[in-house]
Structure 1
Amino acid sequence: MNYQINKGINRPIEFKGLKAQYIGYLGGGLVALLVLFAILYLTGMAIYLCILIIAGLGSILFYKVFDLSHQFGEHGLMKRNARRYVPDYLRFKTRRLFYEKR
C-alpha cells in the first residue's frame, strides 16, 4: 500500500483524517500502550486479559484523538490550552503608563 501523507506545499500534515500534532499524540499513545502491554505480560497476567485491556484502551485512545482532531482542528487545541494563561481583564488605576514616552 502507498499512503500519501502531504497534500501540498505549505499545507499541514494530514494522515487518515488526523491533522498536525494529533499524529504525534496517537503515536505516543500507541507506544505507551505497547509498554503497558509488556508490563502487564511480564507481571504474569493472562495473555487474553492483557489483549482485552490493551484493545479497550486502544479503542478509547483512537476515539479521543480523532475526536480532538475533528473538534479543534490543526491549532485549536493549542489555542484552547493557551487561553487559560490569558487574564480575564486588566485593571489600571491610572493612565500614566500609556502617556509616558520612552
Structure 2
Amino acid sequence: MAPVYRLNKGINRPIEFKGLKAQYIGYLAGGLVALLLSFTFLYLLGTPLYLVLGLTLMGGSGLFIGVFRLSRTYGTHGLMKRWARHRLPHSIRCRSRHAFLRLKNP
C-alpha cells in the first residue's frame, strides 16, 4: 500500500507538507525545476554523465537542506519580514527646509 501524506490545509492556517511551510514549498519546487533544466543543459552540452549527476545530486542536497533550514528558522512569514526589514532606510535625511516650508498650516 502506498504511503498517504497529509496535506494540512485548515482555516486560517498555512499550508504545510512534510515540514515545509507556506512559500517554502514553492521555493523547493522552483529549485527542482532549475536543477532539472541545468541537468538537461549540461547533458546536451556533452558534459560527462557522472559529472552532471554529481553536480545535480550535490545541488539537490544543498537545495533541500537550505529550504528546510529556512522553513525551520523563519517559519511561515519570517523570511518575508526579514526581507522587508532590510528594505527600510536606516535614516531619512532632509538637507533643505523646502519640504517643510511648503506644508500648509492648519
TM-score (norm 2): 0.81
Q: SS of 1:88's equivalent?
A: coil
Number of aligned residues:
100
**What does residue 60 of structure 1 align with?**
62
Q: SS of 2:7's equivalent?
A: coil
**What does residue 14 of structure 1 align with?**
16
- What is the Cα deviation at residue 88 of structure 1? 2.8
- What is the Cα deviation at residue 4 of structure 1? 1.2
Task: Report the AA paired with residue 22 of structure 1.
Answer: Y
1:51 to 35, 50, 53: 53
Q: SS of 2:73's equivalent?
A: helix
Give distance in 2, aligned partners of 1:42 and 1:58.
19
**What does residue 5 of structure 2 align with?**
3
- What is the Cα deviation at residue 59 of structure 1? 0.4
Q: Between 5-14 and 20-29, report the one with greater CA deviation.
A: 5-14
Write out the 4+ residue segments of structure 1 that deviate beyond 3 Å after TM superposition: 89-93
Task: Report the AA paired with residue 50 of structure 2.
Answer: Y
Give distance in 2, aligned partners of 1:22 and 1:76.
11
Question: 1:4-43 alignment to 2 at 5 Å?
Answer: 4-43=6-45
- Flag structure 1 segments of 5+ consecutive residues without an equivalent: none
Give distance in 1, aligned partners of 2:10 and 2:21.
14
- Flag structure 2 segments of 5+ consecutive residues without an equivalent: none
Q: SS of 1:3's equivalent?
A: coil
